[in-house]
Amino acid sequence: MTTIRVALAAAVLVAFGEASFCGKSSVPFSFEALPNGQPVLGCARPSCFGWNSDGTPASKPAQFYRINKKPDGFFRNSADARPKALNGGDALNFQPQVASRKKNIGMHGDVRERPVPE
C-alpha cells in the first residue's frame, strides 16, 4: 500500500510540476547545477531561428522561476544576433522557425494533447 501511495504522489508532483522554459523562439544552450544544487537553464536566440520577417522575436521570451530569490535560468542577449528586416518577396515568403511541443506522452505510453506555453 505504501508503494502505491509513493507512486501516486510522484505522479501528481510530475503532472503539476513547473519548470523553466526557453520559449518557442529560443533554444537551450546550457544547463548547470549551482553548488547548492539549484539548476540553472541558459537560453539563447540564434540569428537563424525564432524571428519574424521584420526582425522581431517570433514569440514571448523565456519563462524562469525564482528559487531562494534567485532565477533558475537566464536569457543570453546578443545584439549582433538580431537579423535585419526582410523586404519585398522575401518577407512575403518568409516562414518563421519556432519550436513547439504539441503532444505529451503519458506515464503509460499514451499520447495526449497538451497546450503549449505561450
Please, are residues 86 and 51 in contact by the beta-carbon 8 Å criterion? no
Q: Is the pLDDT of residue 107 over 80?
A: no
More confident residue, 46 or 114: 46
Predicted pLDDT at 74: 83
Rounded distance, CA 20 to CA 31, Å? 11
Question: Do β-strands 73-76 and 39-44 pair in parallel, antiparallel, or remain unpaired?
Answer: parallel
Amino acid, res. 106:
G
- pLDDT > 70: what percent of the chain? 67
More confident residue, 21 or 111: 21
Entry pTM: 0.56
Question: Predicted confidence band at 22 (pLDDT cuts at 50, 70, 90)?
Answer: confident
Predicted pLDDT at 5: 73
Question: Predicted confidence band at 12 (pLDDT cuts at 50, 70, 90)?
Answer: low
Distances (CA, A) of 80 to 57, 62, 76, 83: 14, 19, 12, 8
Grid cell for residue 61: 521570451
pLDDT in tens, 45-102: 887 777 777 877 777 777 888 888 888 888 887 645 667 777 777 777 777 777 766 5
